[in-house]
Amino acid sequence: MKKDITEDVKYVVETKIDGLSVALEYKKGVFVRGATRGNGQVGEDITENLRTIKHIPKTLKEPVDIIVRGEVFIGKEEFERLNDELEEGEKFANARNLAAGSLRQLDSSICKKRPLDIFIFNVQKSKDIKFTSHYESLLYMEKLGFNVNPVKILCSDIKEVINAINKIGEDREFLSFGIDGAVVKVDNLEQREFLGTTFKVPKWAVAYKYPPEQKETILKDIICQVGRTGAITPMAILEPVKVAGSTISKTTLHNEDFIKEKGLKIGDTVVIQKAGDVIPEVVKAVKTKRTGKEKTFVMPTTCPVCGGPVIREEGEAVTRCIGIECKARNLRNIIHFASKEGMNIEGLRRKNNRAII
């Protein structure tokens, strides 16, 4: 920025909310339409679903014509509470996908049951109000009644930006909502206009990604699951630990080679993180905390479900059950067949399949 702009540059640092971006349109202060980002020019009309979110005002405190952008998300506690009410096979993988999937539901009554929330972070267009700075526009949106991103730090130079980024990094574990980074924006709107944008991104903003949050826990056990192709996958059973806003109690260990490469033993203290702040993974064993009671894991020589023969072909990392009457394989084959990915069937899920079987 300093290279392209001779005068002083101020910045605003905000949390990058982990959700789905939407645009809200108001005419004379009344909410008339809402859409997803789509391809950047044309989005999906999701007005009726957005009307179910309580923090989206139906009428503003001033009768203005304005289009704003915000991020729809589900808070950490709300996501945990919702998942706790579901059976093991029905739990949602992460809050972001749940929020995005909820907004795309054709039936708005389903969306209404989900604990969706929103933070507004930008004025896209307004004929009535002219702003000189981004921070000024955020304060004005709060005045109109919008639920504006609570983490917005005005910085006078790049040193303050770095301090703000570090502060958000220290506090992110305690935020009630998930983030996938911080965003640094030029505050002055004339300077933004001068800097312009590329085909895909603005030149006046940049996202900072934090390293994944890591926590230590105990690897209580390693069990094996059998997939529809017969692949036997080791699964880590962990002492539950909260990482990046969700409680992790198990995660895949992929295959025998992965376990050997990481040097994992049952009973180890292990380091857990979320890859991309989404998928939990075991990073390493903390070997200095071993007591001598740890046990070496050995891949089963027969299928843990049907007792049938298993093979590991040369050049492959996967051990497979080849029993044609294996209940685990047959069940997962039926589940896959009667799914959107298989026969493109919507609404028929694992619970229904078990009833059929």
Q: Catalytic positions, please?
A: 16
Residue that has been written with the tokens 């028929």 in this structure = 348
Supply φ then ψ for residue 277, to 5 degrees: 60, 25
- Nearest of 211, 157, 218, 220 to residue 184 by alpha carbon: 157
**Amino acid making up residue 304:** P
Please name the amino acid found at residue 44.
E
| Range list of β-strands (E), the chain | 11-17, 20-27, 30-36, 66-74, 116-126, 152-155, 179-186, 205-208, 214-226, 231-243, 246-252, 265-266, 269-275, 279-285, 295-296, 310-311, 319-321
Tokens for 148, please give them: 């504006």
Q: How far apart are CA 158 and CA 169, in angstroms?
A: 17
Buried (b) or exposed (e) across 8-17, using 16+ Cβ within 10 A? ebbbbbbbbb
SS3 330: helix
d(CA 246, CA 132): 40
